[in-house]
Amino acid sequence: MLDNRAFPSPALPLLSPLGDSGLLVRFGASLSEDANRAAISFSDRLRATAVSGVEEVAGNLVSVLIRYDAQKTSYDALAGEVRLLLAGADKLEPASSCGVAVAVDFGGEGGPDLAEVAAILGLSQDDFIKRHNAVPLRVLATGFAPGFVYCGFHPESLRVSRRPTVRARVPAGTVLFAAGQTAITSTAIPTGWHVIGHTRFANFSISWDPPTQLRPGDLVRFRSEFV
Amino acid sequence: MHLQVLRASPLTTVQDQGRFGMLQHGIAASGPMDRTAFMRCALALGAESSAGIEFTRAGMAFTLVGGRTRAAFDGGTFQLRHNGQECPWPAVLDLQSGDTVEITPGSVGNYGYVRLLAEIDVPLILGSRSTNSIAGLGGFGGRALAAGDLLPLINMDHVLKSAAKPALPDDGQPIRVLWGAHADLFPATVRDRFLATSFEISGRLDRMGVRLIDREAVFRDTGQLTLVSEAIVPGDVQILGDGTPIVLMRDHQPTGGYPRIATVIGADLDRFAQRRPGSTVRFTSVTPDRAHKAALSR
């Protein structure tokens, strides 16, 4: 089975049903900067537009799920509204983004894979940390788990693949690294990504409304906790 | 007034309609595995209490401490005893302080419900009392109920005038699906075989998903394909890297990167949830329009 679809693309998104009360808008078949920006921008615009029957808008890395009430609209009617909104894309202001600084305790007990990651990249641990923190990253997506954020993209020179095995549980505040991205957990989850550090930064609380603070498109500046 | 749990099957949880609107924050909606049965309890009571208790095949036992209330039981077929006296299933019982209810395994289904003419007074977490077993939040301290738990109850006064339609038994008809997010990535021969083959419900099922046994190896050669993470909805039929099909349920992970060939329609997901390990399931594809009509006719 090969995923060789040239379509969809940011300029030519694909609309398809996801179950009988979901419409999925895809801006790419794989992760790219353009497809990610298109997905974030579209979900922001859709949230700012009152479209009848829409119950929930959930953006992901390169796609947006629209959950709708089938008693208030139909798939076809909603798809029509979505196409209109996509066609008018250039007339809308991009949403403003916020920035946050995240202090990370790299390596040690909370980051057991730091040495291995640095070795794969042929860097000293200090050099890796320096390069990792060099430029702010964008929040690419949320939604994998409560408060979880994918941040990217690192340059090609910092790209490593996932680990061959999955850790059954890493705690909240774990800083993960793989696939040109850094991710932060806010709850305990299983992961196949490299565990490079730990942060006290928390992006999820059931007592907040909304329960997470980082939104897709926000900027995250990582720094070392002990320097 | 309290409900004291004397015995609880694994994964007995407090559920209400669900916690909708939180996907962006990484939280699936949860809610009853069999929403139809859950709703029938409310109709039988003539009241729409918000939360109830979902138990699994081993059932549960509880006693009412202080006060009096009415309770409705439905979902699957269980054995029910009120102070030792056998009762039919489903049932509506008037309970007084000290009364004991014992629910033991019956002939049909995986999930049963008890709802009361009282609100289960656990905190609203992000707008819902549903327990989310994957995120460990909501319900009774974010966890499954266990013997000894004492649930506070508040009497309710909203009474609706409606009657419960009796449950239709599962006629064993194929489970209806829409083609899924990645159906186009599966060869046409595999899609055909998916609809032509009987799968077996495995013993590995919970609120997150139901693993199927693919005896005919329909998905043996579909290979490992990791896709960019995308939204998951309840009912998605996902194919794991080793070819195992798994139907994702109410406590699904909000996003995932395995290919999904189909999605069970909302009108058939409750019926599917009640299918027991060892039973077989076949799938048939319908159009979105057909799925909407099925939803309205329930």
pLDDT, tens digit, 9 for 90 and up, residues B2-33: 999 999 999 999 999 999 999 999 999 999 99
- Sheet with A22-26: list strands edge to edge: A14-17, A22-26, A63-68, A54-59
Q: pLDDT for A78-131, tens place per residue?
A: 999 999 999 886 555 555 667 899 999 999 999 999 999 999 999 999 999 999
**Domain count of the fold of chain B:** 2
**One domain, residues B149 and B211:** no
Q: Is the model's pTM score more than 0.90? A: yes
A163 and chain B in contact, CB less than 8 A: no
Q: Determine the residue of chain A that is closest to B136 in CA distance.
A: A187
Contact A1 B259 (CB under 8 A): yes
The answer to whether A166 and A187 are in contact (CB under 8 A) is no
Q: Cβ of A87 under 8 Å from any chain B Cβ?
A: no
Residues of B whose CB is below 8 A from A66 = none
The pLDDT tens digits along chain A (227 residues) read 445 555 788 888 999 999 999 999 999 988 999 999 999 999 999 999 989 999 999 999 999 999 999 999 999 999 999 999 998 865 555 556 678 999 999 999 999 999 999 999 999 999 999 999 999 999 999 999 999 999 999 999 999 999 988 999 999 999 999 999 999 999 999 999 999 999 999 999 999 999 999 999 999 999 998 75
Report the CATH number that the domain containing residue A167 is assigned in CATH: 2.40.100.10
Residues B53 and B182 grouped into a single domain: no
Q: State the residue range of the domain holding B185.
A: 175-296
Q: Looking at the domain assignment, is residue A1 inside a domain?
A: no
A20 with B222: Cβ contact below 8 A: no
Spatial separation of the C-alpha atoms in residues A142 and A154, rounded to whole Å: 18
Q: How close, in Å, is residue B81 to chain A by CA atoms? A: 38
Residue at which a domain ends, from A91, A109, A133: A91
CA distance A169 to B249: 22
Flag whether the ipTM exceeds 0.85: yes
Instruction: Say if residue A85 is in the same domain as residue A149.
Output: no
Range picked from A222-226, B138-142, B241-245 for highest mean pLDDT: B138-142
Helix, coil or strand: residue A21: helix
Residue A172 lies in a domain: yes
CA distance A226 to chain B (A): 30
CB within 8 Å: B228 and A61 = yes
| Domain-embedded: residue A5 | no
Q: Which of B178, B223, B267 sits opposite A17 (nearest CB)?
A: B178
pLDDT value for A50: 87
**pLDDT band, very low/low/confident/very high, at B257 (cuts 50, 70, 90):** confident
3-state SS class at B158: coil
Q: Which domain holds residue A179?
A: 99-224
3-state secondary structure of B66: coil
Q: Are residues A109 and A191 in the same domain?
A: yes
A133 with A219, same domain: the answer is: yes
Pair (A157, A212) in one structural domain: yes
Containing A117, the helix (H) or strand (E) segment is: helix A114-120
Cα separation, A214 vs A97, in Å, equals 10
Percent of chain B at pLDDT exceeding 90: 81
| CATH number for position B229 | 2.40.100.10
Q: How many domains, chain A?
A: 2
| Two tokens, residue B264 | 């069970």
- Asked whether residue A204 falls in the same domain as residue A131, the answer is yes
**Looking at this protein, which amino acid is placed at residue B14?**
V
Asked whether residue B170 is domain-assigned, the answer is no
Residue A5, chain B, CB below 8 Å: the answer is: yes
B120, B155, B190 — which closes off a domain? B155
Query: What is the pLDDT, as a whole number, of residue A2?
Result: 44
Question: Is B230's CB within 8 Å of A5's CB?
Answer: no
Interface residue of A3, A20, A56, A206 to substitute, partner B, most B CBs within 10 Å: A20
Mean of pLDDT values over B107-121: 96
How far is Cα B172 from Cα B209, in angstroms, rounded to an integer?
20
Residues B150 and B9 in one domain: yes
